[in-house]
Amino acid sequence: MRPWTWTRKIPVVAYNPFLVHARRVHSYSFHVFRDVPPLRQLRRELGKSNRTVGLVPTMGALHDGHLSLVRQAAAENTDVFVSIYVNPTQFGVNEDLDSYPRTWDADMEKLERLNRELRSDQGGSVTAVFAPTTKVMYPTIPPTSEIDGHGSFVTITPLANKLEGASRPVFFRGVATVCTKLFNIATPDRVYFGQKDVQQCVVIKRLVKDLHIDTEVRIGATVRDPDGLAMSSRNAYLGSRRRAVGLVLYRALHAGELAFNSGKRTREEILDAARRVADDTLASQKALLPSERALFEVDYISLADPETLDELDVVDPNRGAILSGAVKMMPVEEPRPNEDLGVGSGTIPVRLIDNILLMPNGHRDL
């Protein structure tokens, strides 16, 4: 039995009975845990020394958006736990679970480099990476992606049925379930999520409030590439052609934001500005040859209340709104020789989501 991989001692941690089963395989500056009991023991020891823990849940394939959350957690806590687990229950039956990027070695290198930076600043740092197996996370009944499948699940309705949930009916059930498990395992003082997944943030805040989970939900700003594309692990699928056209979502939402900033407040005024960008871009792509174009489908463009996610007819300036959308980039039709097609060679449809907060009095956060 080797429930965790030990690489260094943390001064506040006393004798650990799991240490006799440890195996030193890498020289990371943090512990890597595969099972629950030793992570809980570490958490108890940190608590005895009045240290605070910030948890950053991820599915790996780490990018600068994830790392910005780790930095935020390190600035607000003495210790940061990062979870890396591709959760099967938030993928639908026909979604991309098997092809989802898994980049363990690169993820560890990124966290190690970041830890050196954090420690040079003498603030908090990454203490633990929790990378469980599915058997650890779902110890009795194997997880299911069926809508009416058996299992122990957490559901947050009606929030989970709107926007993303309308197209991905099991997604937020899986998110709420795995996050409840992680919060119970790590008992963090604070948990960190990115605004890019804005509906997830609203669901998690409702989960913590309604189930009386003793943690604070902290939301980090969306991290974007210089051209505006929101960073996402799924961007690895795009390749250069679909990536360039995939900017349509951000441009459409930005057009809606400009309408709001110019004084427009009605749903029609704001969403019409956004839809014009999407419609014009799609028309221009359809006019190109199959070897040149990147087609997409708009799933939704939404103007919703920031707490209930109910669609709005008029934005209340005292409450603001969430302007969000989703597009599906279709597979590349006719790849060109030596074309950059991304992970999956351009054959995998890519769902892109994004949002902009239209907040009262210039505020930019939830």
For 64-123, how does the pLDDT look when each residue is reduced to its tens digit (9 = 90+)? 999 999 999 999 999 999 999 999 999 988 777 888 889 999 999 999 999 999 988 878
pLDDT of residue 364: 57
| Dihedral of the alpha carbons of 117, 118, 123, 127, in degrees to the nearest 10 | -140
Q: What is the pLDDT of residue 348?
A: 93
> Which of the residues 66, 150, 254, 363 is marked catalytic?
66
Residue 360: pLDDT band (50, 70, 90) is confident
Mean pLDDT of the chain: 91
Tokens of 154: 């957490």
| pLDDT tens column, 166-205 | 999 999 999 999 999 999 999 999 999 999 999 999 999 9
pLDDT of res. 26: 64
Q: Which domains does the chain have, with CATH numbers?
A: 4-220 (3.40.50.620), 233-362 (3.30.1300.10)
| Contacts of residue 217, Cβ cutoff 8 Å, sequence gap at least 6 | 190, 191, 193, 201, 204, 205, 208
Three state DSSP letters for the chain: CCCEECCCCCCCCCCCHHHHHCCCCCCCCCEEECCHHHHHHHHHHHHHCCCCEEEEEECCCCCHHHHHHHHHHHHHCCEEEEEECCCHHHCCCCCCCCCCCCCHHHHHHHHHHHHHHHHHCCCCEEEEEECCCHHHHCCCCCCCCCCCCCCCCCCCCCHHHCCHHHHCCCHHHHHHHHHHHHHHHHCCCEEEEEHHHHHHHHHHHHHHHHCCCCCEEEEECCCECCCCCECCHHHHHCHHHHHHHHCHHHHHHHHHHHHHHCCCCEHHHHHHHHHHHHHHHHHHHHCCCCCCCCCEEEEEEEEECCCCCCECCECCCCCCEEEEEEEEECCCCCCCCCCCCCCCCCCCCEEEEEEEEECHHHCCCC
Average pLDDT rounded to a whole number, residues 34-60: 97
Residue 66 catalytic? Answer: yes
Q: Which residues contact 149 (CB under 8 A, 6 or more apart)?
A: none
Q: What is the pLDDT of residues 265-316, one digit of tens each?
A: 999 999 999 999 999 999 999 999 999 999 999 999 999 999 999 999 999 9
Report how far residue 71's alpha carbon sits from residue 313's, in angstroms, rounded to the nearest whole number: 38
Query: What's the pLDDT at 362?
Result: 55
With 50 as the cut, is the pLDDT of residue 10 above it? no
User: What pLDDT does residue 8 have?
Assistant: 36
* pLDDT for 321: 97
- pLDDT score, position 320: 95
More confident residue, 190 or 12: 190
Q: Is the backbone peptide bond immediately before 158 cis, with ω within 30 degrees of 0? A: yes
